[in-house]
Amino acid sequence: GAVVSQHPSRVICKSGTSVKIECRSLDFQATTMFWYRQFPKQSLMLMATSNEGSKATYEQGVEKDKFLINHASLTLSTLTVTSAHPEDSSFYICSASRGLAGDEQFFGPGTRLTVL
Amino acid sequence: GENVEQHPSTLSVQEGDSAVIKCTYSDSASNYFPWYKQELGKRPQLIIDIRSNVGEKKDQRIAVTLNKTAKHFSLHITETQPEDSAVYFCAAKGGYSTLTFGKGTMLLVSP
């Protein structure tokens, strides 16, 4: 199978601090990884797409200086929420696909971020 | 860009009944249509997908149909069970584009 892990699963932080979330593909090489944000009872909203070794492509309205994405290897992408505020509290989910035009996306278990 | 509409937003059925969720998409270049099931607080899980070169696909109690001309696709669940209760998302994707998700349908199956 294709397994994607995400760490941490839950994080609580104070306003103004930064939080890093890791997404790993455990048994395959993920050319492309995606970061989503999901508010309660809402759909998944794509934040950015990252390809290994290149800069992430951010969706309209997503601040790239606030949500730093690094895709340093074919199995690891990180999302750093900088200077977090309560409105950043959400469920963050990553996914990964094989190949440049790989259709199927394999989702991580998500990270519940709560900013106090 | 792609726009995916999903209906209904909530669906309540009795155990054993069938459930149908419908989605429409706007980009005629879309060629991959997955359906995900998401339980509360968990990751979306792919339950079935269909590509534009076929009109129907079935996997046990789950089936998906695609009408490319009308740009709509549907999820059919037969003999529903309480464990089918979850939020279901449809999505559409074409070529090198990203997945665009519908807003989700909360399915409640009552015993």
**What residues in A contact B5, CB-CB < 8 Å?**
none
Residue with tokens 């009872």: A41
Residue of B89, B98, B100, B107 to mutate, interface with A, max A Cβ within 10 Å: B98
Mind listing the pLDDT tens digit for each residue in B42-70? Answer: 999 999 999 988 899 999 999 999 999 99
User: How far is Cα A108 from Cα A111, in angstroms, rounded to an integer?
Assistant: 9
Mind listing the pLDDT tens digit for each residue in A9-41? Answer: 999 999 999 999 999 999 988 888 999 999 998
| B43/A43 CB distance under 8 A | no
Mind listing the pLDDT tens digit for each residue in B66-99? Answer: 999 999 999 999 999 999 999 999 999 987 778 9
Q: How many residues does chain A have?
A: 116
User: How far is Cα A82 from Cα A84, in angstroms, rounded to an integer?
Assistant: 5
Mean pLDDT of B13-32: 96
Q: Which residue of A has its CA nearest to B95?
A: A101
pLDDT band at residue A55 using 50, 70 and 90 as cut-offs = confident
